[in-house]
């Protein structure tokens, strides 16, 4: 520069010399500013903003042009980068996403591309069994709601009871309605291994893995009484095995009823060889149809008392019985009537 000035002294006066120097300086400044001017593109969510600037620091350029950058927004270069003419700067604005996980609802701002990218950025870890909706490949958008269901499977070891069965047996030794335990039942045991699946801490399924018998159950045996109990008006209970409704007639040991006179040695003798009898305090003789009531059967007859089937008769067929009385008056007094009889035990 000194050489230029010295040469100018030889050709110009001091006045023109000053003007020339100023013009030269302005030219240098203009050239320098022209060389410093840069045109860059800032693309925000796909929308391009053209910026012309003399600045080089990206952070200053953004502030000068009112391009705000949020804490979770993504930019392709660092904010302290020096930009060059023609540079393209890409900015992706963060969106609001709700994530329900582990009993919480998280409001997350993110500029990631997919659900999976967002989870990684937020350090939300998914296990292989966990469920997520929507899928991890879903693109993020503002207002998206993500539901994460924690799934885990535990192996459960239990000892379970095996209930015993109960067997009932009829007993002619017990009154009807009476029960008696002949053999006490015993609960068995088994070891059960199950796979239990939980979703967010709640059981949703259970599958059997293994089952091992540890002890067999012992069945319980219960006797059921089959003997009926009839309580006649005269008092005392009659224990019976069967009840029948029959037609009861009456007879006595005389000629009209048996066809045998007083001198006949078989007068009053039954078909079983016994002598017919009427015993109000014991067993009296009756005639029956053996096909319905076997001979030798002991009975209780309403209005008559205890009896034993010792005789048969030509007119005694089906559910008809003939009651023995000692006298004709008693026989006629009974007549013929329908009555209940009880086969006693």
Residue 78: the pLDDT is 86
- For residue 105, the cross-strand partners are 100
Mean pLDDT of the chain: 87
Residue 216: the pLDDT is 96
The matching CATH number, chosen from 3.40.50.2300, 3.40.50.1100, 2.20.230.10, 3.40.50.720, for 153-224 is: 2.20.230.10
Alpha helices in the chain (DSSP H): 2-9, 14-36, 58-64, 115-121, 255-258, 328-334
Cα 287 to Cα 310: distance, rounded to the nearest angstrom: 6
Residue 15: the pLDDT is 54
Secondary structure letter of residue 78 according to DSSP: -
The CA R_g of the chain, rounded to the nearest whole Å, is: 59
The matching CATH number, chosen from 3.40.50.150, 3.30.565.10, 2.60.40.3500, 3.10.20.90, for 38-92 is: 3.10.20.90
Cα 175 to Cα 177: distance, rounded to the nearest angstrom: 6
Residue that has been written with the tokens 């300086």 in this structure: 25
- DSSP-based three-state secondary structure for 302: coil
Mind giving me the DSSP string for 19-31?
HHHHHHHHHHHHH
Q: Angle 208-213-218 (CA atoms, 0-180°, nearest 5)?
A: 125
Residues in the chain with pLDDT < 70?
Answer: 1-36, 255, 258-259, 261, 263
Q: Angle 50-55-59 (CA atoms, 0-180°, nearest 5)?
A: 80
Listed by start position, the domains of the chain span 2-36, 38-92, 95-149, 153-224, 231-344
Alpha helices in 53-203 (DSSP H): 58-64, 115-121
Cα 240 to Cα 242: distance, rounded to the nearest angstrom: 6
What is the domain class of 231-344 according to CATH?
mainly beta
Residue 57: the pLDDT is 87
Output the pTM of the full model.
0.52
Residue 26: the pLDDT is 57
Interval 87-128: pLDDT, tens: 898 998 999 999 999 999 999 999 999 999 999 999 999 999
Neighbours of 148 (CB within 10 A): 19
Interval 298-315: pLDDT, tens: 999 999 999 999 999 888
Sign of the Cα pseudo-torsion (98, 100, 106, 109, in order): negative
Sign of the Cα pseudo-torsion (248, 251, 256, 258, in order): positive
Residue 34: the pLDDT is 47
Cα 94 to Cα 112: distance, rounded to the nearest angstrom: 8
133, 114, 131: which is closest to 122 by C-alpha? 114
């Amino acid at each position: 520069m000194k050489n230029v000035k010295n040469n100018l002294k030889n050709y110009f006066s001091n006045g023109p010399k000053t003007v020339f120097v100023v013009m030269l300086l302005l030219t240098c400044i203009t050239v320098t500013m022209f060389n410093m001017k840069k045109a860059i593109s800032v693309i925000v969510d796909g929308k391009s903003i053209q910026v012309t600037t003399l600045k080089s620091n990206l952070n200053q350029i953004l502030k000068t042009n009112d391009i705000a950058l949020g804490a979770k927004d993504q930019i392709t270069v660092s904010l302290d980068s020096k930009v060059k003419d023609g540079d393209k700067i890409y900015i992706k604005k963060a969106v609001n996403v709700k994530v329900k996980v582990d009993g919480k609802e998280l409001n997350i701002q993110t500029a990631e591309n997919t659900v999976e990218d967002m989870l990684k950025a937020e350090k939300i870890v998914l296990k292989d069994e966990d469920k997520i909706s929507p899928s991890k490949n879903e693109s993020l958008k503002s207002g998206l709601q993500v539901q994460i269901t924690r799934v885990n499977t535990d192996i459960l070891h239990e000892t379970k009871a095996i209930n015993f069965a109960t067997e009932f047996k009829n007993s002619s030794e017990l009154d009807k309605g009476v029960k008696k335990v002949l053999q006490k039942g015993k609960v068995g045991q088994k070891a059960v291994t199950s796979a239990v699946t939980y979703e967010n801490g709640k059981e949703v399924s259970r599958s059997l893995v293994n089952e091992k018998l540890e002890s067999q159950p012992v069945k319980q045996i219960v006797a059921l009484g089959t003997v009926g109990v009839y309580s006649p008006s005269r008092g005392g209970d009659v224990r019976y095995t069967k009840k029948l409704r029959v037609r009861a007639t009456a007879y006595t040991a005389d000629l009209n009823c048996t066809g045998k006179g007083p001198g006949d040695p078989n007068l009053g003798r039954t078909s079983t060889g016994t002598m017919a009898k009427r015993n109000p305090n014991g067993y009296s003789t009756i005639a029956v149809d053996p096909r319905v009531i076997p001979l030798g059967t002991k009975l209780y007859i309403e209005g008559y008392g205890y009896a034993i089937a010792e005789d048969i008769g030509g007119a005694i067929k089906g559910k008809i019985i003939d009651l023995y009385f000692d006298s004709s008056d008693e026989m006629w007094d009974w007549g013929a009537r329908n009555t209940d009889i009880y086969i006693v035990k």
